[in-house]
Amino acid sequence: MGLTILGLSGALSHDPSAALYIDGKLIAAAEEERFVRDKHAKNRMPYESAKYCLAQAGIGPAEVDIVAIPFAPISIFKKARWHYAKGYWYAPDRSLDAIFMGNRRFKRYKKRIQWCLQQLGFDLKKVKLEPVEHHLAHASSAYHCSGFQEKTAILGIDGKGEYATTFFGYGENGKIHKIKEFYDPDSLGGLYGALTEYLGFDMLDGEFKVMGMAPYGDAAKYDFSRLAKFEKGELTINTEYANVIGFRRYKDKGKGFYFSPKLIEWLGPKREGDVADDPYVHYAASMQALFEKLALEMMDYYLGDIIKETGKIAFAGGCALNVKLNQKIIARDDVKELFVQPAASDAGTAVGAAAYVSHQRGVPVEKMEHVYLGPSYTNEDVIAACAGHPNQPQWQKIDNVPEHVAQLMVDGHPVAWFQGRMEFGPRALGGRSIIGCPSVPGVADRINAQIKFRERWRPFCPSMLDTVAPQMLSMEHPSPFMTFTFEVNEGWAGRVPEVVHEDGTARAQVVERRHHPRWYDLMVELEKLTGNGVALNTSLNRRGEPMVCSPTDALNIFYGSDLQYLIMEDVLVVKEKADQGRVESMPAAGLEVRAQPSQGPLI
């Protein structure tokens, strides 16, 4: 009899998702936002995503043995709740609640999941619900999916789970050992989120924009050390300034922020509008520098000996998507390989909770080699979507898609590319992408201005053939998921200028043919035409929207933007007046940067 485990995450806060393991094989995983078309799907249940996972496997609720959730009760006899109560002493209602009613959120989480399961047709008497501590789920999503056989250092950094904010441990023979956790309000992820809000972006969504702004500033201009320190093995966030609740919050237009009025007194008014200039670019640089410094110090302190022993690290939690930090980690002499869970934020805890329970039951899970885990659609589905769409698309079925599309790209056109199964996690990896030819001047500006409607300084990434990566990138480290930046070798920046950042780095996806043959073959065709087996790749969505899931979603974006070409499987949709103009003439839009670039990767 096999073991079927459904992981469900995010039922209380954000990024709900579902993942299904059958006998250690990850059959399906998807984020709720893609189905309900609401970015981060805050306060929603993982209902559509769970329904999809079951349908993909061709099973019903009765065939699921265990439902794993990444949220668990925390004992009053452990440090977590007391640390929280002490840290938030100035809000006595929260402090007392943590001590006397400390598992109220868990009970709410469990109730909501049970309600969701009932809507899906589960019999609550028959299915076993298994809670996994939030940070253990993160740890499992990294370690158990890494495929590492050696002893592995495990690092988890995010905002917070139940109470924990940071996890240090190691994995050996499939078992996770916890070394140390830090607890709210001492959260490095929370601090980065607070500064993200101060810099004018939304927490959970704008952290990578801060990371992108940082290389335009000079970290040495402002000393941010007062905000946090790591001493004698303990991380302390200064809650005079950040990670604040209640009356300590800075309030504006009825909204409370995660930083205090004291931060405003020190640094000046919160950034507003569409210009990132002095001093805000320098603040972003200082925050990124402090984040990297503290993360590396903590990693050394708790995991240094394990890293020296085997050189293997597994990393998850929202902060694992900070690719600048990841670049610093893999540059270290004692690090052989870093595995970053591609869905490192809370969406990935659905995978982690299910993988953890699978291992507990004696069924190891497979290495995660790709993230094409969402729905796919046939040509018939695509044609039906075209037939039902109000814009009445003109479509044609074409042969040899890679050859045809590569030619369009070389002619200067961005193309919406919808092929195979949808990706799990925040990165477009050739399933749902907008693509362009990176040697065509101005194509990135064109995508930004006419399609993505996003900040101009946010760069685009290269996807490349595995044969090209050793030539173009300064080091050979597996990079299937765009979780690292690399220095670009001399000569290549001039060859593919549209995907190299201000500081000479690129956040690369290195593609193997076995995982996505058509995506690979497209780059082979580009190489024939231009000499470069590299595609400019960004997610198929508009600013503030989730990545597309279905053909109808793709058509909606296509007609809501200036895109001229959309390829879905073998079906090419072309706007009647496909623009044949030169891309260099297209204006760029979005957030301006008024500062000279300085060193440091731009993400």
Residue 438 one-letter amino acid: P
Q: What is the DSSP string of 102-162?
A: TTHHHHHHHHHHHHHHHHTT--TTTSEEEE--HHHHHHHHHHHHH---S-EEEEEE-S-SS
Q: Is residue 35 part of a domain?
A: yes
Q: Is residue 257 part of a domain?
A: yes
- Whether 435 and 571 share a structural domain: yes
Output phi, psi for 272, to 5 deg: -130, 160
Report the C-alpha gap between 493 and 504 in whole angstroms.
7
**Three-class DSSP category at 305:** helix
- Whether 59 and 202 share a structural domain: no
pLDDT at res. 600: 33
- Whether 486 and 354 share a structural domain: no
pLDDT at res. 578: 55
Mean pLDDT, range 43-70, rounded to an integer: 98
Q: Is residue 22 part of a domain?
A: yes
- Whether 333 and 356 share a structural domain: no
**How many secondary structure helices (H) and strands (E) does the chain include?**
19, 26
- Whether 113 and 255 share a structural domain: no
Token pair belonging to 167: 């996890």
Share of the chain above pLDDT 70, in %: 94
Report the C-alpha gap between 601 and 49 in whole angstroms.
34
Q: What is the DSSP string of 13-69?
A: SS--EEEEEETTEEEEEEEHHHHHT-GGGTT--SHHHHHHHHHHHT--GGG--EEEE
- Whether 283 and 400 share a structural domain: no
Q: Which helix (H) or strand (E) holds 315?
A: strand 312-316
Q: Is residue 408 part of a domain?
A: yes
pLDDT at res. 589: 36
CB atoms closer than 10 angstroms to residue 584: 12
Enclosing domain of residue 248? 188-339
Mean pLDDT, range 450-460, rounded to an integer: 70
Calculate the average pLDDT of the chain.
93
Listed range (1-5, 155-159, 455-459, 559-563) with the worst mean pLDDT: 455-459
Token pair belonging to 73: 């009760």
pLDDT at res. 453: 67
Report the C-alpha gap between 198 and 204 in whole angstroms.
13
Q: Is residue 176 part of a domain?
A: no
Residue 603 has pLDDT above 50, yes or no: no
Model confidence pLDDT, tens digit, residues 142-179: 999 999 999 999 999 999 999 999 999 999 999 999 99
Residue 225 has pLDDT above 90, yes or no: yes
Token pair belonging to 332: 């270290």
Q: Is residue 161 part of a domain?
A: no
- Whether 404 and 437 share a structural domain: yes
Domain count, the chain: 3
pLDDT band at 44 (very low <50, low <70, confident <90, very high): very high
Report the C-alpha gap between 299 and 155 in whole angstroms.
7
Looking at per-residue pLDDT, the higher value among 504 and 529 belongs to 529
Model confidence pLDDT, tens digit, residues 367-378: 999 999 999 999
- Whether 263 and 385 share a structural domain: no
pLDDT at res. 1: 56
Residue 446 one-letter amino acid: R
Share of the chain above pLDDT 90, in %: 87
Q: Is residue 193 part of a domain?
A: yes
Report the C-alpha gap between 482 and 462 in whole angstroms.
9
CATH number at residue 557: 3.90.870.20
DSSP-derived secondary structure letter, 546 = P
Report CA 360 to chain centroid distance, whole Å. Answer: 27
Output phi, psi for 66, to 5 deg: -140, 140
Report the C-alpha gap between 146 and 140 in whole angstroms.
9
- Whether 354 and 395 share a structural domain: no
pLDDT at res. 450: 76
pLDDT at res. 109: 95
Q: Assign residue 600 a region: left if phi > 0, alpha if psi is -120 to 50, beta otherwise? A: left
Model confidence pLDDT, tens digit, residues 291-335: 999 999 999 999 999 999 999 999 999 999 999 999 999 999 999
Listed range (321-335, 380-394, 426-440, 456-470) with the worst mean pLDDT: 456-470
Q: Is residue 600 part of a domain?
A: no
Angle at 548 between CA 547 and CA 554, to 5 degrees: 140
Residue 585 has pLDDT above 50, yes or no: no
Mean pLDDT, range 109-134, rounded to an integer: 97
Token pair belonging to 563: 């895109």
Report the C-alpha gap between 195 and 188 in whole angstroms.
11
CA dihedral 452, 289, 285, 446 (to 10 degrees): -20
CATH number at residue 228: 3.30.420.40
Q: Which residues is 464 bridged to in the sheet?
A: 510, 534
pLDDT band at 580 (very low <50, low <70, confident <90, very high): very low
Looking at per-residue pLDDT, the higher value among 454 and 560 belongs to 560
pLDDT band at 448 (very low <50, low <70, confident <90, very high): confident
- Whether 268 and 310 share a structural domain: yes
- Check whether the bond before 279 is cis (ω within 30° of 0): yes
Q: Is the dihedral of CA 430, 433, 436, 441 positive or negative?
A: negative
pLDDT at res. 456: 59
- Whether 473 and 543 share a structural domain: yes
Model confidence pLDDT, tens digit, residues 251-289: 999 999 999 999 999 999 999 987 778 999 999 999 999
- Whether 132 and 236 share a structural domain: no
